[in-house]
Structure 1
Amino acid sequence: MKKIVIRIPATSSNLGAGINSLGIAFALYSTVIVEEKTDRWRVNHSLKGIPHDANNLIVQTILRINPKIAPRQLTVMSDIPQAHGLGHSTASIIAGIKIANVLGHMNLTLDQQINIGNQLMGHPECVASGILGDLTASYANGKRVSTVKTHMPQVYALMYIIPHYNSKQHSVPPIKKVTLSEMIQSIDVSNVLIAAVMDNRWTKASMMMEKDPIKAHHRKVGLHDLKVIRNQAHQLGIYGTYLNGQGPLIITFGQRIELNRLHDRLSDDASLKGAIRVLGIDRNGTTVRGE
């Protein structure tokens, strides 16, 4: 059998108030090559702290979906940074789903793949945007996921990675701290956001990204950096800066030329210690070649 090449985009969730619902894919990729059969699973890569054997998340996903699949040699080449809020683990799970589907001749639909991914990781928005690409809105009721893909305007994203972030120290606050009023406002904001995107009203959509009633009272990590970046962006007339989840990533959407100016300003700010880069949006999601 010829080699199978799977390419999975980086992903981000929430876009402000769209908690566990809105996801987006970026033009930064993890590539997995499925090679010959072997006596045991071998995963070749240069990633720090990631297993090279059957304990690898990709292999674990394959075997959870179809334990009868024979071991293979896999080669992973990833530009998605680990533990930085861009879906490194999501990419591994999606790769496992795609490999199980091909090698197991399962003929899973995209909807079935998204549902499996949600069962395995509990974040439908990340799985949906990684598989489908572009901007997705998802709803999960504990049993099934319903997803709609829409087209994000022709914008880019400036990524600021918050330094020294530790997810174990900055866990998501208990839901009991969220008031009914905050929940209703968050739903209202995310509804207007997605409607504005679908109507190609980018100014209104970007304004909605900066409104986040639920998480506004709970964030601790990155607040200083968020304020600095948002203020600098506003001075340039750029709106659409938000903290991805509880961190460790701050994202600003805008036109490429605008974001390059913002990049230069932020690079000159001594109070900001994180890494900065500008990325495009992936429109196609995960691709599989050599089936």
Structure 2
Amino acid sequence: MLKIQIPATSANLGAGFDSLGLAVNLYNYVWIGKSDILEISSADGTKIPTDETNLVYVSAKYLFEQCGKKLDGIKILQENNIPMTRGLGSSSACIIAGLYGANLILGSPFNTDELVNIAAKIEGHPDNTTPALLGGIVTSVYEENRKVHWVKQEIYRHLDFFAIVPDFELSTAFARQCLPETVSHMDARYNLARAALFSASLLQGKYENIRIAVTDRLHQPYRMELIPHAQDVFDKTYALGAYGTYISGAGPTIMSIVGTKNYGFEKEVRRYLDESGLETWKIYKLSIDNLGTRVVLE
């Protein structure tokens, strides 16, 4: 069986709604191989679908069908370290695992661009699936013809990414329902400028820009209402020296970008959460994964 490592992802990055995403070093592992029957199991006790509704299987089957082949059976073993339905790309990790594994089993008939397009079609948008596959920070545009135009940037700056993960789930579908149908020209212009500023500032090391670059008017103000204590957590991270804090994906995870020499940040955030009655919220200290999905040796 192939052992595949898939990184968690953080999408939107504030102002880059449905277009910006980055991969981080928190990984799901999926073992996948040929079988005469459908065999799906969990390696860590996480409850997952073990029938044909399993997203890894659905994605693998879809790729087989694109080659005109029938998937009669497959063996899938999942280790789920990415928190589910928390805004860290757990569903995208499953999609990429299924596509990547199936492509290898089939002899790699699809190239990277084709896999990017197929993953975005399954997910509905490319901001998580593309960095999950490619790694780094990815800017992507999904056209109506189901083609993704993307640019990957590898970041080797001295930055930590702290994922502050609440103890409740928030589905992407539900979080999208709270967004307005239309936005003003002024708000669109506001976001365009900041989304463009984000990647350039990270690449150039102009961290003083990040706080401005992650502000947003298209989705975060509405989703903040769905995440109790979110504004207080934002304020605390900035008081502790974060360069920028934003809602990761659809939420509820809150992501803070922090300099690696800010040694007390995690401890102080943990203390704040505990003192605020949020003891069950978790903190993950992460960094950018520039490699993306890959096969790893046992």
Shared fold (TM-score greater than 0.5)? yes
Is residue 195 of structure 2 the alignment partner of residue 190 of structure 1? yes
CA contact (8 A) 2:220 2:247 kept: no
Distance 1:106 1:287, change over 3 A: closer
Q: Tell me the distance in 2 between the aligned counterparts of 1:135 and 1:169.
A: 26
* More displaced 10-residue stretch of structure 1: 79-88 or 213-222: 213-222
Quick one: distance in 1 between partners of 2:287 and 2:87?
16
Identify unmatched segments of 5+ residues in structure 1: none
Match of 1:281 among 281, 285, 288: 288
Aligned residue in 2 for 1:113: 115
Q: What does residue range 73-112 of structure 1 map to in structure 2 within 5 Å?
A: 73-112=75-114
State the distance in 2 between where 1:232 and 1:201 align.
22
| Contact map agreement 1:42 1:54 (CA 8 A) in 2 | no
Secondary structure of residue in 2 paired with 1:31 = strand
Q: Distance in 2 between matches of 1:20 and 1:77?
A: 27
The answer for the alignment partner of 2:134 in structure 1 is: 132
2: distance between equivalents of 1:32 and 1:137?
26
Aligned residue pairs: how many? 284
CA deviations on 1:151-200 (whole Å, 9 max, x unpaired) are 23331111111233443664443442422211111111101112222333
Decide whether the 8 Å contact of 1:206 with 1:253 is kept in 2.
no
The amino acid of 2:74's aligned partner reads: R
Q: Is the 8 A contact 1:151 1:197 kept in 2?
A: no
What do the CA deviations read for 1:11-30 (whole angstroms, capped 9, x no partner)? 11000000000001010111
Distance in 2 (CA, whole Å) between partners of 1:212 and 1:47 is 38
CA contact (8 A) 1:172 1:246 kept: no
- Take 2:288 and 2:108, find their aligned partners in 1: how far apart are those partners? 30
Among 16, 38, 41, the alignment partner of 1:18 is 16
Range 110-119 or range 156-165, more displaced: 156-165
Aligned-partner Cα distance in 1 for 2:243–2:203: 18
- Asked whether the equivalents of residues 23 and 136 of structure 2 are also in contact (C-alpha less than 8 Å), the reply is yes
Give the aligned partner of residue 163 of structure 1: 167
Give unpaired runs (5+ residues) of structure 2: none
Task: Encode CA deviations 1:79-135: one digit per residue, 9 max, x unaligned.
Answer: 111111111111110011112211122431111111000010112111110011011
**In 1, distance between residues paired with 2:55 and 2:243?**
37
Q: Give the drift of 1:70.
A: 4.3
State the identity as a percent: 26
Q: Work out the CA distance in 2 between the residues paired with 1:216 and 1:289.
A: 36
Instruction: Tell me the alpha carbon deviations over residues 24-68 of structure 1, each in whole angstroms, 9 at most, x when there is no partner.
Output: 101011111124x43311012145442223331111111112142
> For residues 255 and 217 of structure 1, what CA distance do their matches in structure 2 show?
26
Partner of 1:271: 276
Tell me the TM-score normalised to structure 2 length: 0.87
Q: Distance in 2 between matches of 1:113 and 1:146?
A: 12
CA RMSD after TM alignment: 2.1
TM superposition shift of 1:252: 0.2
CA–CA separation in structure 2 for the residues paired with 1:95 and 1:216: 29
Alignment of 1:1-291 (within 5 A): 3-35=1-33, 37-45=34-42, 46-67=44-65, 68-143=70-145, 144-152=147-155, 153-167=157-171, 170-209=175-214, 211-219=215-223, 220-222=225-227, 224-225=229-230, 227-258=231-262, 260-269=263-272, 270-271=275-276, 273=278, 274-289=281-296
CA distance in 1, matches of 2:80, 2:265: 27
- Give 1:27's aligned amino acid: N
Q: TM-score, normalised by structure 1?
A: 0.89
Q: CA shift at 1:78, angstroms?
A: 2.1
1:189-223 per-residue CA deviation (whole Å, 9 max, x = no partner) reads 101112222333222234312x1122354230226
Q: Aligned partners of 1:169 and 1:64: how far apart in 2?
A: 26
In structure 2, relative to structure 1, the CA distance for the partners of 1:192 and 1:272 (3 Å cut) is farther
